[in-house]
Structure 1
Amino acid sequence: MTDTAQPEGYEETAFTADRIPRQAPPPPKGKLGKLGDAFDMARLPWGHYVGVNPSEFEYEYAGGWYRDYEYMGEEGFHDYNHLNEVRWSKFIDEDISLIYRFFRFWFVVLSHGFSFIAPGGEKGGGWLFCGLVAVATILFLFAADTILAALTPLAITVGVCGVATIFKSLYETYSIRFYKSNQNWSDDVAFCRRSGLVKSFQGNFHFYEFDAFIEMAADMKGNQRHTLKVRHRYPQFSKDKRNGLPLEFTFPTDTGSIAERYAMWDMLSRFMDVSQPLPDIPRLEPFRHLDPTTRAFDEAGNRGRPATYWRDLYARVDEQELNRLRAEHHEKVNATPWGSRPDLMAQSVPGYEDSYTAEPEDVNAYAHAPTKNVRFVERPGPEATSSDADHQDTQR
């Protein structure tokens, strides 16, 4: 750990990767030893940022954020958004009744499930339902008394799906007006950049006390689902008193690529590290000038983009072009060499290297192991980080 001065404009507790203090050893592992908990596939490394953001709809190349921003303006969008230059909120407190929540839930399920239009301009479930009924209509066409009787179920299905499509369109157009007045993203359950703290109902903890894991779960058919979990390393201090579970946060991504989970952890780490500018994503662009490190970075010309790059892009392209750009970015995420980077935290936590450190050269191979021939390699030790850090700097 180097003795680097804290950047101005942040609290003394703010996080930087080169100011991680010495910490206590993690608690002993359970019966599964190096693999940790039952479904932990990998613990992701600290530091040595790659600088590639995930392709998740919330962050790159989807139009939802821009619609909200256009309606609210910069000032309203700042507090409405779950992500700004101060905090990455993980909890929403809505000022509405339980009865309303119940009816809204089923309204959204039915309208979105039967709509002909899905998010991103894709085809929705309405096409599937109408297709199934259409096939059934052809099969039983000659069994019905009249053609009208045979076509009635199909007509009803098309009508229901058409109404659902209208309701979904109205919901997306007008729901923002309702949410603007009562959707309050909490500052009390959030990753806070300026203080370096992770706030929760169990207490407030330093960001460097957390570790990121790729968690795997499988359904009854054997299909795997991978999720990024950010978990407090010392659960004896942060367990939920109601259920005894350790403090952890889930960061979902909408693609099947494990590399996307690595990119999410990389982006969260850079968001919390005040020596780094804010991640260059659409949702944070309106607030870049409010963050001291990012403002200095941009004013020095290091961003290499106009101040309104994302807003100008979204103002001129359509949904089809956004989907194309997003697919290209997803390929970039998958092609990034995420695996086998040194783990900075091994310098600060005794016994940290005893946990599971082997990973595939191609991190997406986690989804195939052990059914395919995957080459696992050990992460380099923390003492071999200088040349690797120089290599990572050339990637940004």
Structure 2
Amino acid sequence: MSPTEQQDHYADTAFRTDTIPRQAPPPAKSTWKKLGSNLDVARLPWGNYIGVNPTLYEYDNEWFEDYQYMKEDYLNYAMINEARWSKFVDEDISLLYRFLRFWFVVFSHGFSFIGGGGYFITGIVALCTVLFLFAADNIIDALTPLIIVASVCGIATALRRLYETYSIRFYKSNKNWSDDIAFCRRTGMVKSFQGNFPFYEFDAFIEMRADMKGNQFHSLKVRHRYPQHSKDERNGLPLDFDFPADGNIAQLYAMWDMLGRYMDVSQPLPDIPRLEPFRHLDPTTKAFDEAGKRDRPATYWRDLYAKASEKELKQWREEHRKVVEAAPWGSRTDLMAQSVPGYGGSYTAEPEDVNAYGRFPNKADRFVERAEAKDASPQNKRDGH
């Protein structure tokens, strides 16, 4: 039975931090510049999990909207489940369909009385109707524009209601998350158009960019360490993936921490809303929960979102941001240095104060050398693939 066919347990290739094999040295840092990467602020450490999730995934309104719309179908059409974290939407539809769908959503959501501009537009026309009521030849002529606008917004509202009621059909036909471009927990592999590679061959970088106005912002890049095996032949760029957070640099550390725990089958699935419906399907997580270590009801997140107000969620988000920023992200030893010769020499430094750098990046910031990992395990001495 091949690894991808093992549905009830993990494949032999599944990722565990204590079984990372010996690997080839990484390319020099200058190689990445030739491949077109932006300015890398820091390479984040492997292992040594903090166990804090990014706020974007801990308190996520979109999750509950998807869950409410899809209900039992959520298990089949979610971006992330107990087996894989998909990074690509496979839409087998025509350009004409995409064009019509775009304008349908613009109309139904933009002019609707539900969360759209329906009341605002109708109110403006109503005000104009009152101002010009006495200039019209008769009241019918004066009210006609208002009647037309109100009718259009009413139609948009009805279409939005239909969209929300039957959105699962829309979702199924247009939001098919691919199993072929994904981070796969059961097998420990990262699947891509360029091939399939072990998760331990990827590194996480905080990348600094600038917009057209010169404003700086940061993003998390998870990039394959060996571009000679995975770069895109069409454009020569290395294989990498973006993972969103809310922009704060500590949130990017939390995102990498959560992804590592998601892929590491020695760890339970991260306790976030999107993964709660799948916890019982993952062996490690199921054992963790049945042992009472989660210390939460099986439907904790679902019940919380069903009862919480937006004001409460906003307060919890702010409180959680403080938790993320207070976590000890900086100056941790890097587990991968045990398994990759010359690993520390390719990227050695990170901001001395992670949170201060995230808020106020400037040339005066100090960078520190990361402490080297000690006590290499015997498993790390065998040859890598």
Aligned to 1:228: 220
- AA partner of residue 200 (structure 1): S
8 Å contact kept, 1:341–1:379: yes
Q: Aligned match of 1:86 in 80, 83, 88?
A: 83
Q: Aligned match of 1:200 in 187, 192, 216?
A: 192
SS of the counterpart of 1:345? helix
CA shift, 1:347, in A, is 0.9
Q: 2: distance between equivalents of 1:32 and 1:340?
A: 24
Distance 1:69 1:38, change over 3 A: closer
CA shift, 1:70, in A, is 3.5
CA shift, 1:302, in A, is 0.6
Aligned to 2:290: 299
CA shift, 1:310, in A, is 0.9
CA shift, 1:316, in A, is 1.5
SS of the counterpart of 1:215? strand
Aligned to 1:11: 11
Q: 2: distance between equivalents of 1:165 and 1:326?
A: 31
- 1:163-204 per-position Cα deviation (integer Å, ceiling 9, x unaligned): 877766664454333112453211111000010000011110
CA shift, 1:159, in A, is 9.9
- 1:18-52 per-position Cα deviation (integer Å, ceiling 9, x unaligned): 1111100012221798xx94321111111000111
Q: Aligned match of 2:97 in 100, 103, 111?
A: 100
Aligned to 2:63: 65
CA shift, 1:108, in A, is 4.1
SS of the counterpart of 2:90? strand
CA shift, 1:261, in A, is 1.0
8 Å contact kept, 2:43–2:350: no
SS of the counterpart of 1:176? helix
SS of the counterpart of 1:227? strand
Q: 1: distance between equivalents of 2:249 and 2:122?
A: 34
Q: 2: distance between equivalents of 1:169 and 1:223?
A: 39
Q: CA RMSD for the aligned pairs?
A: 3.6
- Deviates most, 219-228 or 164-173: 164-173
Q: 2: distance between equivalents of 1:111 and 1:377?
A: 53
Q: 1: distance between equivalents of 2:224 and 2:251?
A: 21
Q: 2: distance between equivalents of 1:358 and 1:102?
A: 45
Q: 2: distance between equivalents of 1:249 and 1:196?
A: 16
Q: Aligned match of 2:240 in 248, 251, 254?
A: 248
CA shift, 1:313, in A, is 1.0
Q: 1: distance between equivalents of 2:118 and 2:313?
A: 23
Of all paired residues, the percent bearing the same amino acid is: 66
Q: Does 1:370 align with 2:362?
A: yes
- Deviates most, 339-348 or 309-318: 309-318
Distance 1:86 1:218, change over 3 A: same
Aligned to 1:259: 250
- AA partner of residue 280 (structure 1): D
Distance 1:333 1:154, change over 3 A: farther
Distance 1:190 1:19, change over 3 A: same
Distance 1:341 1:157, change over 3 A: farther
Q: 2: distance between equivalents of 1:375 and 1:162?
A: 58
8 Å contact kept, 1:30–1:37: no
- 1:268-312 per-position Cα deviation (integer Å, ceiling 9, x unaligned): 100000000000011111111111100111111111111111111
- Deviates most, 86-95 or 377-386: 377-386
Q: 2: distance between equivalents of 1:215 and 1:160?
A: 46
Q: 2: distance between equivalents of 1:233 and 1:125?
A: 48
8 Å contact kept, 2:330–2:351: yes
CA shift, 1:111, in A, is 6.1
- 1:132-154 per-position Cα deviation (integer Å, ceiling 9, x unaligned): x99xx9xxx9xxxx89xxxxx99
8 Å contact kept, 1:240–1:246: yes
Aligned to 1:54: 54
Aligned to 2:3: none
Q: 2: distance between equivalents of 1:243 and 1:311?
A: 43
Q: Aligned match of 1:330 in 312, 316, 321?
A: 321
CA shift, 1:252, in A, is 1.6
Aligned to 1:276: 267
8 Å contact kept, 1:16–1:273: yes
8 Å contact kept, 1:224–1:367: no
Which residues of 2 match residues 156-235 of structure 1 at below 5 A?
171-235=163-227
Unaligned runs of 5+ in 1: 1-7, 119-123, 148-152, 387-396
8 Å contact kept, 1:66–1:314: yes
Aligned to 1:25: 25
Q: 2: distance between equivalents of 1:161 and 1:351?
A: 63
Q: 2: distance between equivalents of 1:261 and 1:237?
A: 27
Distance 1:159 1:219, change over 3 A: farther
CA shift, 1:332, in A, is 1.4
- AA partner of residue 17 (structure 1): T
Q: 1: distance between equivalents of 2:110 and 2:333?
A: 44
Q: 2: distance between equivalents of 1:303 and 1:385?
A: 31
- 1:226-270 per-position Cα deviation (integer Å, ceiling 9, x unaligned): 1111100001001112222111111122x2311111111111100
Unaligned runs of 5+ in 2: 1-7, 137-144, 378-385
